[in-house]
Structures are given as structure tokens and as C-alpha cells.
Amino acid sequence: MEEKMRLNAKQVDADRRQARAYADDALREAVCRWIVDNKASRARTARAFGISVERVGNFQFQTLMKKQTARYWAKMRGEPIIQVASR
């Protein structure tokens, strides 16, 4: 019985992580769409992240948002922040 409960707890944790990842992706996609639709907000957001507006394409912005989200969650969880080399 105890082993079954342990398996259920692992499944609940996996489901929770998957749901959190899905929500993060959905929020990131919504922010990117909103920024693309509203040029002024796109410029303000680009400046807030410290990058030029010309460099903010959909792909670049999504990549930046993923990095920012990863840094945020690593900081919240107390995990080391892993830097991935970019081109």
C-alpha cells in the first residue's frame, strides 16, 4: 500500500510540473502575441528586457522569455542558474 501511495505522489508531482510548464508556455505565447499586436508595448517590453526593438522578432522574444522564465523559477526554487550559450 505504501509503495502505491509513493507512486501516486510521484505521478502527482509529474502532473504538477507538466501543468506548470503548460501554463508557462501559454502565458509566454499570450505575451508574445500581445506584444506583436501592440507595437508600442513591444518597444517598452524590449527596453525593459534591455534589447533593441529591431532584434525583437517572435523567435528572439520567445527565446528571451524562456530564459527569463527559467531564471525566475531557478531563483524561486533556490536552484543554480544554468547559462546556455547562445549564438
- Summarize pLDDT for 18-76 with one digit per residue, the tens: 888 887 666 666 666 666 666 556 677 766 666 566 655 656 667 777 778 888 888 88
Say if 82 falls within a structural domain.
no
Domains: count for the chain: 1
Question: Interhelix angle for 2-37 vs 58-77, to 10°?
Answer: 140
**Domain-embedded: residue 85:** no
Domain that holds residue 29: 2-77
Residue 83 lies in a domain: no
Residue 56 makes CB contacts below 8 A (sequence gap 6+) with: 35, 42, 45, 46
Whole-prediction pTM value? 0.39
d(CA 79, CA 74): 5
Does residue 27 belong to any structural domain of this protein?
yes
pLDDT above 60: residue 86: no
Q: Is residue 29 in a domain? A: yes
Residue of 57, 70, 72, 73 whose CA lies nearest to 83 = 70
